[in-house]
């Protein structure tokens, strides 16, 4: 018999051992919210029989864990990683990266991070400055609380972007906080939570990462497309490719195929690089944005 919500959550976490940490966070948050709200509505939170009845309606820890495992199988991440057939030749597998939605999702994320990273960084620095500047005033405490809560919400939004574009399973709902606690206890739970500060640190780090990702992939894409455009520029518009002071030169005819092959190889390797960095960034995001 389970005598408390804490005991239920502890048992649920044990039953979900081996599951994705993001799935565990969602299951724990859903269960705690349902049980506590149901107890509040029953007006008999001290009655163990009421708790047992609520658990019977919601499901035992074993049943809840099994339901979430089944849910993950039926509804994977939006851009789940595409597996190539083993019977394909290495050359086919190399160029089939252009048909991989995971690679395109990762590329889009690398370019989008410059925008999201700038927004997160600006909000974070502004919020920290205002919070630290007003903390000695009465109004400073609620400002700090609202700022930290806002970053928890931003972490959920970023997690959804990561899951959609990088295929890494991320939390689909925030960590549950009890509404019946005094406001000072709520503030302590947010302020001293490792999840709060890891989320804030991740958002700040996303700014330099976004600059790096954007510059790297824009440069590689521009280089690859430039090589592919050389034959059009040289033969279609009669524009010299090489400029050395007042002297201009055209690329030799025998080198044009090599230029085209080079452009194709650069673009293909860029897609592979985007997918590889996307996997690493997904693991990094999971380690920072998923609560223990």
The confidence band for 80, taking pLDDT boundaries of 50, 70 and 90, is: very low
For the chain, give every domain's residue range. 1-75, 82-292
Indicate if the pLDDT at residue 111 is higher than 50.
Answer: yes
Indicate if the pLDDT at residue 37 is higher than 80.
Answer: yes
Tell me the mean pLDDT in the region 270-281.
96
Pairing of strands 242-244, 247-249: antiparallel
How far is 269 from 62, CA to CA, in rounded Å?
Answer: 46
How far is 258 from 45, CA to CA, in rounded Å?
Answer: 76
Indicate if the pLDDT at residue 247 is higher than 50.
Answer: yes
Per DSSP, the three-state class of 114 is: helix
The confidence band for 292, taking pLDDT boundaries of 50, 70 and 90, is: low
Which residue is listed with tokens 């690859």? 224
- Contacts of residue 75, defined as CB under 8 A and 6 or more positions apart, other chains included, come to none
Q: What's the pLDDT score for residue 264?
A: 95
pLDDT in tens, 194-244: 888 888 899 999 999 999 999 999 999 999 999 998 888 887 777 777 666
| Of 29-43, 57-71, 116-130, 262-276, minimum mean pLDDT range | 29-43
- The whole-model pTM stands at 0.81
Report the chain's C-alpha Rg in angstroms: 26
Other C-beta atoms within 10 Å of 143: how many? 16
How far is 220 from 274, CA to CA, in rounded Å?
Answer: 11
CB neighbour burial string for 224-249, b if at least 16 within 10 angstroms, e if fewer: beebbebbeebeeeeeeeeeeeeeee
Q: What is the DSSP string of 213-250?
A: HHHHHHHHHHHHHHHHHHHIIIIIS---SEEETTEEEP
pLDDT in tens, 41-79: 776 544 567 888 888 888 889 999 999 888 777 766 555
Q: What's the pLDDT score for residue 86?
A: 55
Residue 131 tokens read as 């919070």
């Amino acid at each position: 018999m389970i005598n408390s919500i804490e005991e239920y959550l502890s048992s649920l976490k044990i039953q979900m051992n081996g599951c994705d940490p993001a799935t565990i966070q969602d299951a724990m948050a859903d269960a705690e919210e349902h049980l506590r709200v149901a107890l509040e509505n029953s007006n008999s939170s001290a009655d163990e029989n009421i708790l047992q009845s609520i658990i019977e309606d919601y499901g035992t820890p074993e049943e809840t864990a099994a339901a979430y495992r089944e849910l993950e199988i039926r509804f994977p991440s939006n851009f789940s990683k595409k597996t190539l057939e083993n019977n394909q030749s290495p050359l086919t597998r190399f160029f089939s990266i252009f048909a991989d939605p995971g690679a395109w999702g990762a590329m889009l994320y690398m370019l989008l991070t410059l925008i999201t990273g700038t927004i997160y960084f600006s909000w974070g620095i502004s919020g920290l400055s205002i919070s630290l500047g007003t903390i000695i005033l009465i109004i400073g405490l609620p400002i700090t609380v609202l700022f930290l809560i806002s970053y928890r919400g931003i972490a959920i939004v970023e997690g959804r972007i990561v899951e959609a574009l990088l295929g890494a399973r991320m939390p689909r709902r925030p960590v549950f906080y009890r509404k019946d606690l005094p406001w000072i206890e709520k503030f302590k739970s947010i302020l001293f939570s490792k999840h709060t500060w890891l989320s804030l640190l991740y958002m700040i780090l996303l700014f330099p990462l976004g600059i790096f990702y954007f510059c790297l992939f824009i440069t590689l894409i521009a280089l690859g497309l430039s090589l592919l455009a050389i034959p059009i520029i040289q033969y279609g518009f009669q524009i010299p490719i090489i400029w050395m002071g007042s002297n201009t030169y055209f690329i030799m005819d025998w080198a044009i195929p090599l230029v085209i092959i080079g452009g194709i190889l650069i673009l293909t390797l860029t897609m592979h690089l985007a997918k590889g960095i996307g996997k690493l960034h997904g693991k990094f995001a999971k380690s920072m944005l998923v609560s223990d």
